[in-house]
Amino acid sequence: MGTELFYWIKLNMDFFNQDTIDWLKEQDNGCEYIVLYLQLCLLSANNNGVLVRHVGEMIIPYNAKKIAEQTRFSLDTVMVAMRLFTKLGLIEVDDRGTITLPAVPSMVGSRSASKEAVRKRAYRARKKVLALTAAGDKKEDISRDKMSHGVSGTKKDTKIDVDEVSRTEMGQSVPKRDIWDKMSTENGTKCPTEYRDKSIENKRDDEDDEERAREEKRQTLARVVSYYQNNIHPVANEAEKDRLIEMLNEFGAEWVLQAIKQAALNRASTIRYVEVTLNSWRNSGNPQPWRGGKSSGRHAGNGNRVADPADSAADEIDWSQYDDTYQPGT
């Protein structure tokens, strides 16, 4: 049994820039002609460029029909291409019709089966070495990248493992939720200083609200005292002023003002009259007894509804009706 050979053809780097090939590219269907020529080169590679078939002991030249069958080009394309190849010197046809491709002998390479096996084993070994080298280079690049970023270990080390969050601080196990809360406090957008500043700001707002409330009370007292002095008599002493304050706290500004107005209408000139009037109105159960109408207060022990006069807010009072002295009979 003879040694089996493997054949191939080699193309020069300037193959497609040769005048003959370049000219073929310019023709209609020129690319098909070039492909056909390369196929003929392969078909004749094992016969040193001679386009023949070995059938048993016979050597049969290729004709146009067989070439069309073998290359799967149409017969017309093969006929036109063969005429062009002949004119360009790419093929030669002798008197018996045998086709020779003169450039093929210099393009053919061959190797025996044993040498091919050696080549394949060498190729696989070289491929394995290249793969190992590439893997080593990749690993080195990863290590270098980690060193440049100050990271050690694997990529997993750069992430927080939820399963490893539970740890020990000062000898005590810290729950995961507490750790996350601590992390959110320490690493959040707000620092302790911002919380302290917010607390101070809220405290200042509360102090401002309290000061405004005190100022409103002072103004209310001043206007009630002024209305009392204009319609009853000047406040005689601090005791009388304190009684006005007590009535304001118990009944509210509007009730006290209306009682002072009622005293002026009845030409009463004592603070005792104002007090009696307020108590009488409260027992009537009417929230605005100076206007009359249905009771709408809370129930007293005697079944009457008792008003809550202190519910009348000072900021709801129409102060214009209490300006200056109230004139009886108007």
Q: pLDDT exceeding 70 applies to what percent of the chain?
A: 63
Q: Any idea which residue has 């070289």 for tokens?
A: 126
Residues whose CB falls within 8 Å of the CB of residue 53, separated by 6 or more in sequence, listed in order: 59, 60, 61, 62, 66
Over residues 13-72, the pLDDT tens digits come to 999 999 999 999 999 999 999 999 999 999 998 888 999 998 888 989 999 999 999 999
Assigned CATH for 5-111: 1.10.10.10
Residues whose CB falls within 8 Å of the CB of residue 176, separated by 6 or more in sequence, listed in order: 162, 165, 166
Q: When comparing pLDDT for 30 and 288, which is higher?
A: 30
Q: Where are the domains of the chain?
A: 5-111, 219-322
Element at 111 (helix H, strand E):
strand 108-112
Tell me the two tokens of residue 229.
Answer: 């002095």
Q: What is the pLDDT of residue 126?
A: 78
Q: What is the pLDDT of residue 300?
A: 39
Tell me the two tokens of residue 283.
Answer: 């027992």
First-to-last C-alpha distance (Å) of the chain: 146
Of these ranges, 76-80, 152-156, 290-294, the one predicted with the greatest mean pLDDT is 76-80
Q: What's the pTM? A: 0.37
* Low-confidence winner among 68-77, 124-133, 149-158, 201-210 (lowest mean pLDDT): 149-158
Strand order in the sheet with 92-93: 58-61, 50-55, 99-100, 92-93
Distance of CA 209 to the CA centre of its chain: 42
Task: Quote the CA–CA distance of 211 and 263 in Å, as a whole number.
Answer: 33
- The pLDDT-based confidence of 288 (bands split at 50, 70, 90) is confident
Task: Quote the CA–CA distance of 103 and 89 in Å, as a whole number.
Answer: 10
- The pLDDT-based confidence of 180 (bands split at 50, 70, 90) is very low
**Which of 317, 322, 159 is closest to 229 using CA atoms?**
322
Over residues 146-160, the pLDDT tens digits come to 565 554 444 444 444
Q: When comparing pLDDT for 179 and 14, which is higher?
A: 14
* The total number of residues written for the chain in this structure: 330
- Over residues 234-252, the mean pLDDT reads 89
- The pLDDT-based confidence of 205 (bands split at 50, 70, 90) is confident
| Burial readout 8-21 (b: 16 or more C-beta within 10 A, e: otherwise) | eeeeeeeeeeeeeb
Q: What is the pLDDT of residue 294?
A: 47
Amino acid identity for residue 77 in this structure: T
